[in-house]
Amino acid sequence: MSEPEPTEEERELADALAAELAQLRVENVLVGALIQVSSIGYRRLGLGEETNDERDLEQTRLAIETMRALTPVLSAVVPEELIRDFDQSVANLQLAYAKAKSEEAGGES
């Protein structure tokens, strides 16, 4: 059984995706991923009324560890200012995480 031939629209989409991938750089993907991971980490702290029910400190911890692992990899290929921003974000997340864990432990007593 042979597969059906792709339509002209499918071929054009595949060509467009291939062209986009040819221009994409790994560091750009990683920077985008770190921004998303940071945002998710903050959200999982559940500090605001709208995110209170989304609290998942293990997800925040995973976000911190991911950022700590990937930031040094990027340091050779992205501007130093961006690395400082990511390092500051990690430090802020760590402080907020520690405070949340402390409050959680205090509430369990």
> 12-21, 61-70, 76-85, 87-96: which range is least confident on average?
12-21
Is residue 106 one of the residues assigned to a domain? no
Sequence-distant (≥ 6) Cβ neighbours of residue 14 within 8 angstroms:
6
> DSSP letter at 77?
T
Indicate the pTM of the whole model: 0.80
Cα 19–chain centre separation: 25
Is residue 8 one of the residues assigned to a domain? no
pLDDT per residue as tens digits for the range 9-47: 999 999 898 998 899 999 999 999 999 999 999 999 998
Is residue 61 one of the residues assigned to a domain? yes
Is residue 42 one of the residues assigned to a domain? yes
Instruction: Say how many domains are in the chain.
Output: 1
DSSP for 18-55, please give it: HHHHHH--HHHHHHHHHHHHHHHHHHTT--STTTGGG-
Is residue 15 one of the residues assigned to a domain? no
Is residue 108 one of the residues assigned to a domain? no
The answer to whether the CB of 71 falls within 8 A of the CB of 86 is yes
Look up the domain containing 66 and give its range. 20-101
Cα 22–chain centre separation: 23
